[in-house]
Amino acid sequence: MTVATLLEKAYGSFSARRFEATISALHRGLKVRIRVQSATTEGWVQIDVTGEDEQVALNLLDREIGLAPTSAESVGKFSALRGKILNATRSESELHVDIGVLKPKKYYAAIPLWKLQAQLSDGVKLPLQRLVAVFCLYDFMPIHIKISDELDPERGFWESELSEAQLWRFSEWLKLNLDRLIVLGASHNEVEVAVERGHHFRDVIEIESLGPLEHAILCKLGTEAVGLIPKLGPHLAAANLAPFSPRKIKQLIKRPSL
């Protein structure tokens, strides 16, 4: 048996039973049993993997969801990692990202404000909380980063920056010029049901999955994401909803893409 920590947190409408069914579907045909542990460490989902095809199953999980490095020894300068934004509204100087490092103690990644300004606003000196709001950099948002310096054990973090993959995603969203409603803390099925109950399929092109509990509702031309919040919010009570508006971002940064 192998115990693994997934790069997914238990929050919002998370259900261990439903999550087990989701990840088990990824391994249909493999001789393996996956069980979600009832307790998690720092909110990260831990699983037991048992069976002949343990390693194959773990490789699939790493590719589809991601496995937390857990140990600081597994992270170094230039490491490319996926994490979850942490305490987004509590700082004015840096964006914290939880990357799942728990040993020898909890360490996280931090992106300084000046780097975010350089990468997201073309050097325009936008306050951190303004960048958080317009790019939907809220708690639990999945984000791809690159470690840019060695661990600072006294401060407890690695200085980091957004990865090329993350910048490409934001750039593509801006180029398409369509609003997206970001949903943090609900399953794909719950988002589909909310759109159906709100009778808003005519306003939606597709529901993009950013993670098992994170999604981007791509709006049709002429539909503003902010207008969907009061209509879909009652059907997604456990989730946080935030609008991503390319038009507003372009007004701030004065260019069409990153």
Q: Is residue 132's pLDDT more than 80? A: yes
Report which secondary-structure segment, H or E, holds 214: strand 214-219
Confidence at residue 42, expressed as pLDDT on a 0 to 100 scale? 80
Tell me the β-bridge partners of 214: 184, 211
Alpha-carbon distances, residue 56 vs 2, 22, 171 (angstroms): 12, 17, 34
pLDDT at 39 over 70: no
- Give the whole-angstrom CA distance, residue 73 versus residue 153: 12
Query: Mind listing the pLDDT tens digit for each residue in 219-249?
Result: 999 999 999 999 999 999 999 999 999 999 9
CA–CA separation, 116 and 134 (whole Å): 12
> Would you say 192 and 232 are in contact if contact means Cβ atoms under 8 Å apart?
no
For strand 70-71 and strand 94-103, is the pairing parallel, antiparallel, or unpaired? Answer: parallel
Grade residue 257 by pLDDT with cuts at 50, 70 and 90: low
The pLDDT tens digits for 61-74 are 888 888 988 899 99
Give the span between the Cα atoms of 20 and 12, in whole angstroms.
16
Helix (H) or strand (E) holding 247: helix 246-253
Closest by CA position to 180, among listed 229, 109, 213, 145: 229
Sketch out the chain's domains with CATH numbers.
2-64 (3.30.310), 70-162 (2.40.50.140), 170-253 (3.30.70)
> What is the pLDDT of the chain when averaged over all its residues?
92
Inter-residue contact 13 to 235 (CB < 8 Å): no
* pLDDT tens column, 150-208: 999 989 999 999 999 999 999 999 999 999 999 999 999 999 999 999 888 899 999 99
pTM reported for the whole predicted model: 0.92
- Tell me the chain's radius of gyration from C-alpha atoms: 19
